[in-house]
Structure 1
Amino acid sequence: MVNNLGKRKIVVFTGAGISAESGLRTFRDGDGLWESYSIHELATKDAFERNPKLVLSFYNQRKVAAKNAQPNKAHIALAELEDVYDVVIITQNVDDLHERAGSSKVIHLHGQLNRAQSSIEPSITYDWDKRIEIGQYCELNSQLRPNIVWFGEPVMHLEEAREHIKSAYKVLGVGSSLSVQPAASLLNKAPFRAEKTLVSLEIKGKIPFSYKFMRGKATNVVPVICKNWRKLEVNSKCT
């Protein structure tokens, strides 16, 4: 639970709720993106093969929205925790708001909008801030596609994320309804003795064992938690 720099590890698991507070639409809320689009049209490999132009247009729009969004108070508070803790962010989100807030260790389970990948070999990826267009190819001469985990595809970096949670001093879940598996099951891997907290407007299903649930907006609750944790850690090193 303590890294080689002597800082205790906090693992933060974030979901769509934290990005929603920066103005990005979620998929699963009542006015979410899945109310306007079918997953079978936009978020499967078959959909991309049937109508790549439609799929690319959808994700290009999402890329623009994410680029225009700004990190909110919760993103910034989590980044500032790195002053006194070893902080690892494990996120289901595909935007880069954590990185732009200043977090240095971010694991994206479901991919990143600002990257592209080969449509035949997912290990081939590129930094890609611009639009992805039909006719843009990877080094294997296959069409580029979004670096996004679609339905039926394996979650990225799952084992790495699991190992971080297993060695955490504190675990904080933010903005996730815990409805997307297998990502949500990671929270069950937290050590028994770790302090475990969930912050969300809604949890679908059972709250994981020994987690404290705090209902509320990330921008209201997370900065308070982070301030208290920073104060506790600084005071512990002064005594």
Structure 2
Amino acid sequence: MKINDKSLSKYASSGAPPDKEGYLHKRGDFNRGYQKRWFILKGNLLFYYEKRTDKDPIGMVVLEGCTVELSDHEDGFTFMINFPGSNSRTYVLSADTQEDMEAWMKALSGASYDYMKLCVNELKAQLQDIDSNSDRKLVQSAFEDRNNLVRQGHVQDQSGFSNNITNSAFSGHARRHNPFDDDSFDRGSMSSRSESISEKKARTFLEMHEEFKQEIKEITQEWLKTHQQSLLAEHLKNSVSVT
């Protein structure tokens, strides 16, 4: 792809650090011979120059929707950049060493936006799995610590939960049973029990109200008593001073 856009040419020569750069041998589209070119990879754009010291690139490859693979029809450390479609161009490049060829193939394969998007989605899925497992482990650890305290007698078990219930909750998707679907469930007794609990809570609130009321009354009386003593002392002091 030849460059006519000055903005792309400016981006190629900008100070942004390249993802990879180096010499490769590029086979011509019409001339089947190889020419040594200086390549610079920035993001999903592969620029190539006639010489390393040149300011402007002579061509560019947009690495979207392409595949990078070894060339079976060429000798040496040769690989290809293929694009889908019968009229699409195939770029044939050759490196000087096996290590250099592998490094370029890896860099070019991971340069496309689609590839980076797949990597990001994969990382997001892994993070979600880690967060889910971490939350599950934290809750399970909290239940286990509480059960240990109950067994040691440091905490009284008033929750009604057992170790079997706790373990089944984290062993997978446990099947739940709705107690209201059971024929033996007595809604009348449940209703009367709820009313008795409400009455108990109401009585408890009244008792607390009376306790706070009595406490405030005692504090008020104590303050009045102290304040009166202070006023009396001040009055006696003033009387002595006048005398």
For the superposition of Structure 1 and Structure 2, which TM-score range results when normalised by the shorter chain? under 0.3
Higher RCO (CA < 8 A, seq sep 6+): 1
What TM-score results when the alignment is normalised by the length of structure 1? 0.21
